[in-house]
Amino acid sequence: MTDHASSIGIIGLGYVGLPLLIGFASRGSEVRGFDIDQQKVETLMRGKSYIKHIPEESIQSLVRSGRFQATGDFAELRKVRTIIICVPTPLTEKMEPDLTYIIQTGESIALYLQRGQLVVLESTTYPGTTEELLIPILEKSGLKAGTDFYVGFSPEREDPGNKQFKTHQVPKVVSGIDEASRACVKAVYEKMFEKVVVVSSPRVAEMTKLLENIYRCVNIALVNELKLLCQRMGIDLWEVITAASTKPFGYTPFYPGPGLGGHCIPIDPFYLSWKAKEYDFPTRFIELAGEINTSMPFHVVDSVAEVLNHDRKSVNGSRILVLGVAYKKDIDDLRESPSLKIMQLLQDRGAAIDYSDPYFPSLHKMRKYDFKLKSVDLTPRNIAGYDCVVIATDHSSFDYPMIVANALRVVDTRNATAKVPGRNSKVILA
């Protein structure tokens, strides 16, 4: 069998594709990175990184070694033995799967697909996508899957900013459409990952990824709902979670927040609930969890309005500073960040909005939002000039004692001020 790990093409050089590129190239594979964003291509070829937790040194060494090159020329796909697809799978405005990137990528591959190549999809999607959608597109090449080329699915398990596990240390689930494809996929990923877990079909692997994220989505929704109840009951849920976490079995802590962010948890459950309709099956747990989690930014804005009301102020006309626009602490990732939704809702109510985030000096135009803002320096004088400060993302670099000391009011969605003395007089948990 051909050594499919000898040369690899990775399509999509974002938070999933770039770590894979570095991992395979560092272990001796000749790797080509493909992206339609020419700026990413040029940045990588200069040995630079556009993702903060990925060090430039690792990219520079690979460029010097000659084992890596980035390109926007998809004709170069002819030169690799394995093609790995790592493109986004967002939702439409109607909360339905948007597979545009997979479709377009499949069509590009079909133009250059070679006999004997292996194609692996990593993008998170509903069960059946690989076989029902991707393969028919690839077969437009005139080649037949399982006969002329191999096909597999392997769900990405990236967790940006996680310092406990590096990409290669996370067990890699792999699958293929037949025995030969499974063997090829397994051999490729064993080149990089410490442990490879083979499952029987792409549908199983696709569902595995959804289960992992739906599990988190449902449990986060549970604690978000309990947070709302505990606030009415005058109970500190954070203290409750800390106490419950002392149980050494049968309990895993999850934490409330201002909503869900990232490319997976806010999106993946809706992929399954959409597919389930094909089987006349209502996914009530999933849809209820989604309803609760998507309502949390509205709850935060209502909490801001309540705080301002105590000071005889309205949201309309108030100056509000949002701390943190990344979807979680200490990363440079804006995808589906609840902070952006909170900012939009406050702006819609007439508030004058600013933000501060060390990872984002300015905000660019996004698919859903267009804030023409620059990050505000967190000085005592600046903080004191706002009617309310909202802690939406609890970056470690924020000086919370200084923030609380100088702010008129603080709405804390992350319990980031838990250890700040005297917070009760100014801080409201939301």
Q: Which residues participate in catalysis according to the annotation? A: 264
Q: Which residues contact 152 (CB under 8 A, 6 or more apart)?
A: 118, 119, 120, 121, 130, 174, 175, 176, 177, 181, 182, 184, 185, 202
Residue 194, token pair as written in the block: 């410490």
Strand order in the sheet with 388-391: 352-356, 319-323, 388-391, 410-412, 427-429
Strand order in the sheet with 30-34: 68-71, 30-34, 7-11, 82-85, 118-121, 150-153, 172-176, 196-198
Euclidean distance between CA atoms 378 and 357, whole angstroms = 9
Give the side-chain half-sphere CA count within 13 A for 110: 19
Residue 294: name the closest of 265, 337, 336, 259 by CA: 259
Residue type, 190: E
Helix (H) or strand (E) holding 220: helix 202-233
175 near 182, Cβ under 8 Å?
yes
